[in-house]
Amino acid sequence: MLCGCVGLVWLYEGDVEVAVYLIWLALVFDFLDGFVARLLRVHSPMGKELDSLADLITFGVLPSFILYKMLQQQEVDAWVPYLAFLVAVFSAIRLAKFNIDENQQTVFIGLPTPANAIFISSLIFVDGSYPSLLSYPVLLIITILFSYLLVSPMELFALKFKDFGWKGNEVRFSFILFSALSLLFFLHLALPMIVMMYILLSFFVKIISTT
């Protein structure tokens, strides 16, 4: 939550990259708090609610402001950048659904807010390297599409290992290998590709499992 708040300050000061790095730092903390909780076998309803509140600020509101800034730089009507806050609204709905849904233990229903935050925050590096790829229509499509994905009924696999054997974890290990190789060769630019692969791989896994 602190990373999200400080990130908003840096974004207000005009340093988008620092805001992005704070989102990524928060992702590390988000992983570690769950890991430590499972390791110590401790959990509470308050911790669950607090985790979602922190996620909303850091992985919902802050990415929305980043999109808002990017849309502001386009030649669009003054009201258009405000559409970016659909991401914050649908992130809140996504997190509220997660808190009351008992069916999201081994899968996620809808795109998790951290994955959405990774995709949106990494766009500033795409914009810096290939600005022609992120025109106003593309940014608008991303805003609407990823807002929908947050609350969609689509099932996405969770990176939760019951054991570290290959059997039963083929998809997870393949995804981790793809992610590692992508980061090695493309660095920051790999992040949106990794999130898209996560979505597509989950889609195909679901199709295969139902046929």
Q: Give the pLDDT score at 75.
A: 86
Per-residue confidence at 39, pLDDT binned at 50, 70, 90?
A: confident
How far, in Å, CA of 10 to CA of 82, rounded?
19
Structure tokens at 28: 């590390």
Domain limits of the chain? 2-153
Q: Give the pLDDT score at 162.
A: 67
| pLDDT tens profile 73-116 | 998 899 999 999 999 999 999 999 988 887 766 788 999 999 99
Q: Give the pLDDT score at 160.
A: 73
How far, in Å, CA of 54 to CA of 7, rounded?
13
The overall average pLDDT reported for the chain is: 90
| pLDDT tens profile 181-193 | 999 999 989 999 9
3-state secondary structure of 76: coil
Q: What is the pTM of this model?
A: 0.90
